[in-house]
Chain A
Amino acid sequence: MKNYITVVGLEVHAELKTKTKAFCSCSTEFGAKPNTHVCPVCLGMPGALPVMNKKVVEFAIRAGLALNCEIKNFNKFDRKNYFYPDLSKNYQISQFDKPICEHGHIDIRVGDQKKTIGITRIHMEEDAGKLVHSGTTISTSDSSAVDYNRAGVPLIEIVSEPDMRGAAEARAYLEQLKAILEYTDVCDCKMQEGSLRCDANISIMPEGAKEFGTRAEIKNLNSFRALERAIDYEVARQMEILEDNGHVVQETRTWDDANGVTLSMRSKEEAHDYRYFPEPDLVPINLDNAWIEEIRQGMPELPAARLERLLKLGLPEESAILIVNTKEMADYFDEGTKHTKDVKGFANWMLGDVSAYLNTENLTIKDFKVTPDHLAELVELINKGTLSSKLAKKVFAEMLKGNEAPQALVKKLGLEQVSDEGAIAKIVDEVLAKNPQSVADFKAGKGKAIGFLVGQVMKASHGKANPGIVNKMLKDKMQ
C-alpha cells in the first residue's frame, strides 16, 4: 500500500452576534417561538426590500482583521439562486466574486509543531430558516414545517486554503478559528445550536504527487469530534478506492454521525447552478479606510497574544492552549489569577476538577457557579497548608452547591488541617502503639510501611492532620 497525504480545506459558517438581522430589524435571538422574529423582508413578502445592516459589515471587518486578511474597500452583494422552502426569497443574498476579506492566515499548533493555515476569503451572507420534516427527508415527508426566525440572520463564510494535512490539523485550525471568533465577539460559536458550522473538503494524494486528488465535500459536521471522525472515515474510504485502482468522484457527501459514515448527496453533475448575479436591491458599498482603522484600534487581545502572555506566566504550553482556546476559560483564568500568585495551581484546578465537573454536568465555564476569586481562595488555602488536597476536594464539592467562600466552608465543616504538632503527636503515638508489626517492618528497612502508618494517622484525624508533619513525625519517632 502506498503512502498517502491527506489534504483538507474547511468552509466555516459563523452566525454573527448582531442584535438584528442582516437586512431587516428583526431580532436574531436563538430559541424563540417559531416565526415570531419575522417581518415582510425576511419572510420574502411581495414588494419587500433588503437594507444592509451596517453592524454586519463591521463584524465581518473585525473577523477579517483578526484573521490577518486584506479588507476590500469595494463591496457588493449577489443573489445566489436556488429553490428550497427554508429560503424565503428562493435566493440567498451573498457575496460571490468580491468578498469583503481575502488573503488571510492563522497559526495553529499540533503537538510541538506550529503551522500557518491560509484563509482564502471571508464573505457576508444571510442564513436560511429551519425545516422540520415529518419524515426523514424533504422528499419522503408527508409534511414539513418551516421556522423563518433564522432567515436573514447574518453569517460570514470563512474559506481556508487546502493547507491542512489531516484530522488533527483540521481540528486545531477549527479550534483556533473558534477562539478568534469568540475573542473578537463576532460569533458565539455554539456548534450544537448551529451558530458555527463546518464543511470540509477532503482529498488524498500519493506521497510525492504534484497535484491534489479529487475532493469530496463533507457537510453536516456539527462538532470537533465529527470533523475528526469524518476526515478519518473519508481518508480511509478514498484510500480503499485508490488502492482498488478506482477514481474518487467529486461530490457532496453528508456526515452521518450516528453510523459514523459519509453518504453521497449529489455528484458534480447534479450540483446546483446558482446563477449568481449582482443584487440590484442593494447598492455597492465603499468602505472608508478610516472606519476600518477605527475598528482595528478597537480590536481586543487575540488568542495568540494571550497564549504568549500565559506562557510567560510560566504555564506549561499544553495547559495554556487549553485555557486560551475558550475565551471564557481564559477570562476566568485572568480573573482568578488576580487573587492568587499560584497560576499553575489555579490552572490545574481549572483543567482538572473544574473541567471534570463541567463535562459530567454537560456545562460550559459560562454556566459555572463558582466564581474565579473563590477558586483562587481555595488554591491559596491549600498552599498555606490550611487544607490538604483531599480536603480541598471536599470543600470544592461544597462550593459547587452554592459558591460559598472556601474559607467560610472550612470553618463551617470543621475541616481545617491540623498542623499543631502536639495534637498530631498524640495520634501518632496511639497509631504506633497499635501497629507494632508495621513499626518493625519499617525498622527492618521496608520503607513502604510508612505509607500504611500515615494512612492510619490521617484516618484517626478524620483527614485533618497535615500529612507532611505526620510523615516527618512518624519517621522521627521510629528512628
Chain B
Amino acid sequence: MALYDYTVHELHEQLKSKKISSVELTKAVYDRIAQVDDQVKAYLTLDKEAALAQAAKVDAKIAAGEEIKPLAGVPGAIKDNISMKGVRLTCASKILENFTAIYDAHVIEKLRQDETVFLGKTNMDEFAMGSTTETSYFQMTHNPWDLSRVPGGSSGGSAAAIASGEAIWALGSDTGGSIRQPASFNGCVGIKPTYGRVSRYGCVAFASSLDQVGPITRDVTDAALVLNTICGLDAHDSTSQPVEVPDFTKALRQDVKGLRIGIPKEFYGEGTDPKVKLQLEAAMAKYKELGAEIVEVSLPHTEYAVITYYIIAPAEASANLARFDGVRYGYRHKEAASAPEMTTLSRTEGFGPEVKRRIMLGTYVLSSGYYDAYYKKAMQVRTLIRRDFEEVFKKVDVLLTPTSPVPAYKLDAKMDPLTVYMLDVTTIPVNMAGLPGISIPCGFADGMPVGMQLIGKPLDEETVLRAAYTFEQATEFHKAVAPLGGKK
C-alpha cells in the first residue's frame, strides 16, 4: 500500500512514531498528483511550496517531541469555493478565474490552528451548481473508478482526489447533496453536518439557508476527526449554532443494538437502480444482523423536495451571485461604454449556462407577482418537509436511504437538466430540513461504488457516525481502492 492510500488516523500514528515525516508524505501525495491528475483532473490550483513549508514545520514539532493534532502534517484538499488568504479562489468559474482571496474562511482558520497541510484547491461544478462537476469552466473531472464516468458533484474534485490517492482528506460543501453524492460515486465517506454546525464564513455562498461545509474522507473515523476541527460556533456567521461540539471520535463505537433504523419508502422510488436497491437491502440485513431494528417509515412530502429546492436555492443564489459584477474583483469586460453595461457584459461572459439558468430561475420566482406563488409557497412546503422528519424521528433514531438512486453515470451523458435535478431526490430533503447526513460505501453496481446515506436528528451527528462506523467495521467496502482505469 502506498503512503497516499492510507487514512488520516493511520498516518497520524506513523507521523507520531516518526515512521514517516510529513514532508515525505506530502511529497508522496504530490508525486501521485503528478502521476494521475492529468487523467483525473481533480485539482484547479496546487500550492506545493506552502504545503511543504507547513509539513516541515510539523516535522520540526514532532522532532522536538511536541504533541500534534490528528490532522497536523496530513495533507488535504480544499474545494475551490472555500476562501484561503493569498490563494486563487475560482468557484470553477471564469468570473473568478484570476481572483486571489484576501481572507481565510473560518474552517481554514481552524484547520491552520491544527497545523494541517493544504495541497490545493479542487474542481467543482461552477459555483457548486451541478451534480457532475461538468459545469466547471476549467475542466471535467474523471471518476477514478472508471475514467469515462462522472465523479458526481458538485464536490467532484474533492471526492475524486480521495479516491485516486491525490489527497488524504478533503473538504467539500453540500447544498443539495454536493458532499454525499460525489462521496458515494467515488467510494468515499462524506458527511454534511447539521445546518449551523460548521461556520459558512468564507465558503462562497450558493444557497445560504442550505449550504454546509463538511469532510470527504476514506473512512468514518477520518470524517469524525475533520469534524472535530471544523465544527463550532463562529462569531462571523450568525447562523452557526451556539452549541457545544462533542468529541465525535467518542461516538465511534461498534454498537447498533436496539438502534431503530427507519426506511423511508419515498427514498426508494421508481427511479432507483435495482442494483443500488439490492445493496441497500443487503445493508438493512447487515444492520439487523448487528442488532438494529429496521422500521419502514414515510416522509410524505418528499416528492415536493426537489421542486421546492429548485425555487429556494436559485432564489438565494440569484442574490448571492449578484456581487460578481466586475466592479471590485473578478472578470471584467473591458470594452463597455458605461458602468451598467460593464456589469451586464461581465456577467454575460463570466458565468456559464447552468449558473445563468439558476440565476434566471431565482430572479423569476422572486419577481413581483410571482413571489407568493413560488418562493412563499416553497418556503411553506419546506416547513412541511421539516415536519415530516420531526414526526419520523419520534419513531426512529436514524434513516437509511440510497445516497443516489443511481451509481456514477457516463461523462457527457447529455441528460436534460430536469432529469439530473431529479436524481438529487435522496439528498435534497436533508438540506431542506437542515439535518446531518452521511454517505458511506455499501457495495458495488457494475464495478461502480454504491453509497448509502444515514440521516440523523438535528445536531445528532453522533448517532449517524456510530451507525456508519458500526457498518463500516463490519464490512470491507471502504477498503476497496479505485483502479484508476477506464472501461470505455
Chain A contacts to B: CB under 8 angstroms:
40, 43-52, 79, 81, 83, 85, 88-91, 138-141, 144, 146, 273, 275-277, 280-283
Contact = CB atoms under 8 A, between A and B. Distances in A.
A424 to B, nearest CB: 77
- A-B pairs, top 10 by smallest CB distance, nearest first, are A90-B322, A275-B366, A280-B208, A280-B209, A47-B202, A44-B323, A46-B204, A47-B83, A47-B204, A139-B338
B203 interface: yes
B381 to A, nearest CB: 16
A51 B236 contact: yes
Contact of B325 (A45, A79, A85): A85
A275 B363 contact: yes
A78 to B, nearest CB: 10
Nearest to A278: B379
A46 B327 CA distance: 13
Nearest to B203: A47
A83 B340 contact: yes
26 contacts: A40-B102, A43-B328, A45-B102, A45-B103, A46-B99, A46-B101, A46-B323, A46-B324, A47-B81, A49-B201, A49-B236, A51-B238, A85-B339, A88-B328, A89-B322, A90-B323, A91-B322, A146-B327, A275-B363, A276-B366, A277-B316, A277-B371, A280-B239, A280-B316, A281-B239, A283-B238
B238 A282 contact: yes
Interface string B94-108: 001001011101000
Nearest to A91: B319
Nearest to B366: A275
Contacts of B239: 280-281, 283
Interface string B412-438: 000000000000000000000000000
A368 to B, nearest CB: 43
Main secondary structure of the interface of B (DSSP, over half): loop
Given A88-B328, A281-B239, A46 B322 contact: no
A275 B364 CA distance: 9
B343 A83 contact: yes
A52 B325 CA distance: 25
Contacts of A91: 319, 322
B35 interface: no
Nearest to B326: A85
A43 B327 CA distance: 11
A51 B237 contact: yes
A280 B339 CA distance: 29
A89 B323 contact: yes
A45 B147 CA distance: 36
Contacts of B235: 51
A51 B234 CA distance: 10
B348 interface: no
Contact of A40 (B103, B318, B363): B103
Main secondary structure of the interface of A (DSSP, over half): loop
Interface in B385-432: none
B314 to A, nearest CB: 12
B338 A83 contact: no
A44 to B, nearest CB: 4
B16 interface: no
A277 B375 contact: yes
Given A49-B236, A90-B322, A85 B203 contact: no
A452 to B, nearest CB: 73
Given A44-B323, A50-B238, A81 B338 contact: no
B200 interface: yes
Contacts of A144: 339
Contacts of B237: 49, 51, 281
B367 interface: yes
B196 to A, nearest CB: 9
A43 B325 CA distance: 12
A44 B328 contact: yes
A90 B325 contact: yes
Contacts of B105: 47
Contacts of A44: 323, 328
B252 interface: no
Contact of B338 (A43, A79, A141, A276): A141
Contacts of B209: 280
B82 interface: yes
Contacts of B238: 49-52, 281-283
A46 B371 contact: no
Contacts of A47: 81-83, 101, 105, 200-205
Interface string B187-207: 000000000000011111101
